[in-house]
């Protein structure tokens, strides 16, 4: 068994960030790379139990903080670096995945394949990364959990967009930390500059590896209609988790020793999709 906790990798713009890696004694040569969502982090809620679920099934597991999620090496949870958060962009998140893929190739011997799992905004990122990097790394499948289907629709329009352009910054509330976190207009500019590369529908239609798409039917953060769109573009059946919200019954902190029911079902569904 090999286990790294709060190790570091170098992400976008040379920014270091935290990463965990576990290889079980009975490692089957396949590794899961898990990507968190917007305002997320590797140690959120029950993600550690998701790691335990898959390592008990003989998979390696890696989870990490995106480089500009607002966390630091010293504090990866409470978003003390608001400036980094403000400078984040979608291109950075896709590039972070490439950095972690390189990290894994250097750290994991006998690595046969990598399975990408992404939650929410991270689900969009793994689709984009799977399409972009499948020819360069041993990525064998992509699995989305309550994923977004479109980046452009998440930006404001009209007077709100013009105000953002004129001031250069807008703020979003973090309900957990109660911070008003900045988002610089560079987030929008990066999207417009790289709109083709950040087109999730186009990435799915060009994806050369299998994928599964999972969504809760009680998700009020990312509507299930987005999962339906992803499944339609991928020509697969949408895997629906009954009674599941956006985080599949989990919360932060998660103090129970077992996965919530809906998240356990999700893990089983995802495992089945890897066979």
How many residues does the structure list for the chain? 275
120 phi and psi angles, rounded to 5 deg: 60, -120
The verdict on residue 108 lying in a domain is: yes
Residue 55 lies in domain: 2-158+196-273
The verdict on residue 53 lying in a domain is: yes
The verdict on residue 40 lying in a domain is: yes
The CATH number of whichever domain residue 85 belongs to comes to 3.40.50.1820
Helix (H, G, I), strand (E, B) or coil at 60: strand
Q: How many domains does the chain fold into?
A: 1
* CA distance linking residue 263 with residue 220, whole number of Å: 16
The verdict on residue 169 lying in a domain is: no
The verdict on residue 176 lying in a domain is: no
- Written as tens digits, the pLDDT of the chain (275 aa) is 899 999 999 999 999 999 999 999 999 999 999 999 999 999 999 999 999 999 999 999 999 999 999 999 999 999 999 999 999 999 999 999 999 999 999 999 889 999 999 999 999 999 999 999 999 999 999 999 999 999 999 999 999 999 999 999 999 999 999 999 999 999 999 999 999 999 999 999 999 999 999 999 999 999 999 999 999 999 999 999 999 999 999 999 999 999 999 999 999 999 999 98
The verdict on residue 92 lying in a domain is: yes
* CA distance linking residue 138 with residue 68, whole number of Å: 26
The verdict on residue 102 lying in a domain is: yes
Tokens 């608001």 locate to 82
* CA distance linking residue 144 with residue 204, whole number of Å: 12
| CA-based nearest residue to 214, from 237, 232, 240 | 240
The verdict on residue 241 lying in a domain is: yes
Both structure tokens of 29: 């040569």
């Amino acid at each position: 068994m090999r286990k790294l906790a709060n190790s570091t990798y170098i992400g976008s713009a040379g920014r270091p960030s935290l990463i965990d890696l576990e290889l079980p004694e009975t490692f089957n040569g396949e590794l899961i790379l898990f990507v968190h969502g917007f305002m997320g982090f590797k140690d959120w809620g029950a993600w550690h139990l998701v790691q335990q679920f898959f390592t008990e099934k003989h998979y390696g597991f890696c989870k990490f903080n995106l480089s500009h999620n607002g966390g630091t090496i010293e504090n990866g949870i409470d978003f003390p670096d608001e400036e980094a958060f403000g400078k984040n962009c979608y291109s950075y998140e896709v590039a972070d995945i490439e950095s972690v893929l390189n990290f894994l190739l250097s750290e994991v011997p006998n690595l046969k394949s990598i399975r990408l799992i992404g939650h929410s905004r991270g689900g969009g990122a793994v689709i984009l990364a799977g399409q972009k990097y499948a020819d360069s790394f041993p990525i064998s499948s992509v699995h989305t959990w309550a994923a977004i289907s479109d980046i452009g629709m998440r930006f404001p329009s009209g007077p709100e967009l013009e105000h953002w352009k004129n001031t250069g910054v807008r703020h979003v509330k973090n309900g957990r930390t109660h911070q008003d976190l900045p988002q610089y207009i560079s987030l929008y500019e990066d999207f417009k500059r790289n709109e083709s590369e950040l087109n999730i529908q186009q990435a799915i239609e060009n994806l050369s590896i299998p994928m599964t798409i999972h969504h809760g039917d009680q998700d009020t953060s990312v509507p299930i209609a987005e999962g339906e769109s992803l499944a339609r573009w991928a020509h697969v059946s949408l895997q629906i988790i009954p009674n599941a919200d956006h985080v599949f019954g989990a919360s932060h902190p998660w103090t129970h020793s077992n996965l919530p029911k809906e998240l356990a079902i999700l893990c089983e569904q995802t495992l089945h999709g890897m066979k």
